[in-house]
Amino acid sequence: MKAPLAERLRPKQLSDYLSQTHLIGEKGTISQMIKRDLIPSIILWGPPGIGKTTLANLISKETKRSFFTLSAISSGVKDVREVIQKAKQDQGLFEQKNPILFIDEIHRFSKSQQDSLLGAVEKGWITLIGATTENPSFEVIPALLSRCQVYTLNEFSKEDLILLLNRAKSEDEYLSKKNITLKETTSLLRLSGGDARKLLNMFELIVNSVDDENIIITNDLVEEKIQQKTARYDKTGGQHYDIISAFIKSIRGSDPNAAVYWLARMIEGGEDVKFIARRLIILSSEDIGNANPTALIMANNTFQAVNTIGFPEARIILSQCVIYLATSQKSNASYQAIKDAQALIKETGDLSVPLTLRNAPTKLMKDLGYGNEYKYAHNYENNFIQTEFMPEDLTDKVLFNPGKNKREDQLRQFLKQKWTGKYSY
């Protein structure tokens, strides 16, 4: 039985490897390591079907090192220890170079499983190469991460994937015997989602499903043979963090089109409606604040509404709120004020509350001067008297700086009029 096309086309040498020139080009980081035969432990981070396993194999082949492999899906601590023991024995018997232990989907290893690798990596019994589709910062324990170099594999470009398809039809021992024309590639590229392995295996499936002597690949043919692809989105993985980041930044940047697009990506990927709505509440205060106080009310009402309604109708409510927030005036003055205040506290410590501002519920406290000379604002004209409320060492320190928008311009004028000389702005 023949292997799948993706396996048959797996590069046999580094020069056949597609893309990733920042790592394996002439001046690429990994190319230089191979040239010097100095391979550290590595985490390869990139999307599915980008060539992480292939690259690990090629590093082993180019440096003539033993290669052991484990899958995090099916391996436990016992398996890890057995492989490490065998690697130690092989190193002692046959070679001086550290054997390579490749762990696919290392992000699926538990903390105890990752802990079991530390000693072997630290002592040089193995050179670890881990492959992950998830952000190592979140999925790999700090102790192991600190012992590894992290290298990011970029998604394939459209040109890379088309080159791969052309390689398949001209170089594969089976497909090269067929008369294949790549007339259209849009659907193939879209349905594969940039995953080269999926692309090649879909391509082979389509070719094998056509009985004609001349096989013409069109978008209609691809759509007919392949079921529609579900949006690639992992609610607990890197896509989750990347897309919510793009979503928030689009609203902050006042781009309703991009904001609604990223919202749709999350909805299509099955994101929790409460998670989306919670982030809108945070954003309405952090990025809009007093430039438009109604934004917080809108976001909070959206949270209540989508919890009541649920999907699919909740998407309409979310869309309305997202567009409102994206097109609102923006200000991060409130966020910046509390951030600066917390930084000031870390710098100055726990400064004493002025006696004037302390409550005095007992005679002793009154005798000690608690509350003396406190000026009750409502006893003065316009319910205001200029006095100092900050600790003595922070007199006249200003933390709140209103944003440059109509609403906060009014706040600025209010403060300047009330507080003579303090709020100069």
| DSSP-derived 3-state class of residue 386 | coil
Question: pLDDT digit string (tens) for 355-375?
Answer: 888 887 788 777 788 888 888
Decide the pairing of beta strands 149-152 and 214-217: unpaired
Cα–Cα distance for residue pair 372/145, rounded to 1 Å: 57
- For 405, list phi and psi in degrees, rounded to 5: -155, 165
Most confident of 32-41, 110-119, 184-193: 32-41
> Rounded to 5 degrees, what angle do the CA atoms 21, 46, 146 make?
95
Tokens standing for 197? 């392995």
Cα–Cα distance for residue pair 173/192, rounded to 1 Å: 23
Question: pLDDT digit string (tens) for 93-145?
Answer: 555 678 899 999 898 888 888 888 898 888 888 899 999 988 888 788 999 99
0.75 exceeded by pTM: no
Element holding 152 (H helix, E strand) = strand 149-152
Counted residue by residue, the chain has a size of 425
Which of 73-82, 139-148, 267-276 shows the lowest per-residue confidence on average (mean pLDDT)? Answer: 73-82
Cα–Cα distance for residue pair 292/331, rounded to 1 Å: 9
Contact 137, 58 (CB under 8 A): no
Cα–Cα distance for residue pair 329/292, rounded to 1 Å: 6
Please check the confidence at residue 227 and state whether its pLDDT lies above 70: no
CA-wise closest residue to 408 among 320, 336, 322: 336
Q: To which residue do tokens 């917080």 refer?
A: 296
DSSP of 210-273, one letter per residue?
A: --SSEEEE-HHHHHHHSPPPPP---TTSHHHHHHHHHHHHHHHTT-HHHHHHHHHHHHHTT--H
Q: To which residue do tokens 């934004």 refer?
A: 295
What pLDDT sits at residue 229? Answer: 47
Most confident of 184-188, 271-275, 301-305: 301-305
Domains in the chain with CATH codes: 20-152 (3.40.50.300), 158-225 (1.10.8.60), 238-326 (1.20.272.10), 353-418 (no CATH)
- For 12, list phi and psi in degrees, rounded to 5: -95, -20
